[in-house]
Amino acid sequence: MKKKSMGNSFLLFLTAFIWGVAFVAQRVGMDYIGPFSFNGARFLMGSVVLLPLVCVRRKKDKEKGVPRAGLKITFTGGICCGLALCSAALCQQIGIMYTTVGKAGFITTLYIVIVPIMGIFLGKKAGGRIWMGAGLAAVGMYLLCMSERLVLSKGDTYVFICAILFSIHILVIDYFSPKADGVELSCIQFLTAGVISSILAFVFEQPQLQSFIDGIIPLAYAGIMSSGVAYTLQVVGQKDMDPTVASLILSMESVFSVLAGWMILGQALSGRELFGCVMVFGAVILVQLPDKKRS
């Protein structure tokens, strides 16, 4: 069980790394296409990338006689996860247009505090160590991402709503992931989010083929790596894992986003930001420490 927990933690850590680098891709992608078009294309791309894997896994399980989850629970879970993902991602993408990356990174990671609060109303308990880790991570995120006074502007409001919706997304995955295949669940949620975002793109934007071609590099990373790979790792990694602990590990995406900005865009890290990184790493280590054995 301990090895399985470590494996799940590594998958979520890798997810956070991919998402952190995706912050750069999302920001660059907005130079070519609108937020609805960007999310519609990336999620549909992620769904298509996973489709062959779904077929191969189904064929192998059928040959081995491995029982699979029912289509009803798989589609229900995928659609519910897709609705939450679509809403959260769109609010984040729109918010990035009107606020700084620092504010967006900090406000988004407020889900590390929102998840345990929501969990209380769902009958889940969070120990004192997890609450301490959440508080430490929140302070670390503030030092890492905030460089000016926090005032909820239009963009900040969108990203704050995004943090709430991502908290719901984490809890929805926590509910459905033990009941359905993780890859199929991920594929359906991307398809759901992609279709909804594409419809909104044609309603509120004017998608042009040339714009997608010009922005193919950030779009491909967001669609294949951030969507097709990372969200699948999240679904698989969260299986049988405490959602509060999962949210703390996933909050590392902001740390990686700053590092990616430094390495790819040449943005320097200040001493304050480095100290924030240390605090976030400390929070993740804190919640991963084993509980004391009871007599």
The letter for the amino acid at 168 is I
CA distance 235 to 183: 8
pTM of the model: 0.80
Q: Exposure string (b/e) for 247-278, b if CB count within 10 Å is 16 or more?
A: bbbbbbbbbbbbbbbeeeeeeeeeeebeebbe
In this structure, what token pair is assigned to residue 126? 């969070």
CA distance 223 to 204: 21
Closest CA to 198 of 41, 33, 17, 24: 41
* Span 116-127, pLDDT tens digits: 778 777 777 767
CA distance 70 to 123: 26
* Span 80-97, pLDDT tens digits: 999 999 999 999 998 888
pLDDT exceeds cutoff 60 at 213: yes
User: Would you call 204 helix, strand, or coil by DSSP?
Assistant: helix
CA distance 218 to 239: 29
User: Would you call 26 helix, strand, or coil by DSSP?
Assistant: helix
Please, are residues 205 and 34 in contact by the beta-carbon 8 Å criterion? Answer: yes
* Span 150-197, pLDDT tens digits: 566 788 889 889 989 998 998 898 888 888 887 888 889 999 999 999
Q: Give the pLDDT confidence score for residue 295 in this predicted structure.
A: 39
The letter for the amino acid at 214 is D
Highest mean pLDDT among 10-19, 103-112, 131-140, 223-232: 10-19
CA distance 40 to 29: 13
Closest CA to 77 of 195, 170, 177: 177
> Which pLDDT band holds residue 149 (cuts at 50, 70, 90)?
low
pLDDT exceeds cutoff 80 at 243: no
In this structure, what token pair is assigned to residue 264? 């790819």
The CA-based angle 236-53-21, given to 5 degrees, is 55
Going from N- to C-terminal start, the domains of the chain cover 2-288
Q: Give the pLDDT confidence score for residue 294 in this predicted structure.
A: 43
Per-residue three-class SS string for 167-187: HHHHHHHHHHCCCCCHHHHHH
pLDDT exceeds cutoff 50 at 203: yes
> Which pLDDT band holds residue 9 (cuts at 50, 70, 90)?
confident
